[in-house]
């Protein structure tokens, strides 16, 4: 089994919030277990970047971006394609979720892996059977 991360999952890990240990375990699996991947859409990586930039400054955001893009983190980055963008847009048209989140959902569906998140917007999609979710603790 592999997993897909949204920005919520990566920020949980980077900010050492409740659930960070679960994300860390997935990252460790991606490092040491053949065939286990932590998929992330570049769109969601961009969301992590701007949120880190706002919270911790450009230096930390830039370092994270470069570590992810250069393969120094065990993340399998996935580029948006016209097909992926259209599928994400169709999700946005049908469900009240943030546009960036639609890329995480689309990628989890495409890769047929669970989405690790704590984002409450995803509950509806899970209830409708559109994807499997590994729930991280929601931040208060």
List the pLDDT tens digit at each of the 140 positions of the chain: 899 999 999 999 999 999 999 999 999 999 999 999 999 999 999 999 999 999 999 999 999 999 999 999 999 999 999 999 999 999 999 999 999 999 999 999 999 999 999 999 999 999 999 999 999 998 65
Any idea what DSSP says for residue 122? G
Tell which residue, 37, 52, 26, 1, has the closest CA to residue 117.
26
Among positive and negative, which fits the CA dihedral 117, 119, 120, 126? negative
CATH topology of domain 3-119+131-135: Rossmann fold (3.40.50)
Whether 54 and 88 have beta carbons less than 8 Å apart is answered as no
Tell which residue, 115, 21, 93, 7, has the closest CA to residue 53.
7
The torsion angle over the Cα atoms of residues 8, 120, 36 and 53, rounded to 10 degrees, is: -10
């Amino acid at each position: 089994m592999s997993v897909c991360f949204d920005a919520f999952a990566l920020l949980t890990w980077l900010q050492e919030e409740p659930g960070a240990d679960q994300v860390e375990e997935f990252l460790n699996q991606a490092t040491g277990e053949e065939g286990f991947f932590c998929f992330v859409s570049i769109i969601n990586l961009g969301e992590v970047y701007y949120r880190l930039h706002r919270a911790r400054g450009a230096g930390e955001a830039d370092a994270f971006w470069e570590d992810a893009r250069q393969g120094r983190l065990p993340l399998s980055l996935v580029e948006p394609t016209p097909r992926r963008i259209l599928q994400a847009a169709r999700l946005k048209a049908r469900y009240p979720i943030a546009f960036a989140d639609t890329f995480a959902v689309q990628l989890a569906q495409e890769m047929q892996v669970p989405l690790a998140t704590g984002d409450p917007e995803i509950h509806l999609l899970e209830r409708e059977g559109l994807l499997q979710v590994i729930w991280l603790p929601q931040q208060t």
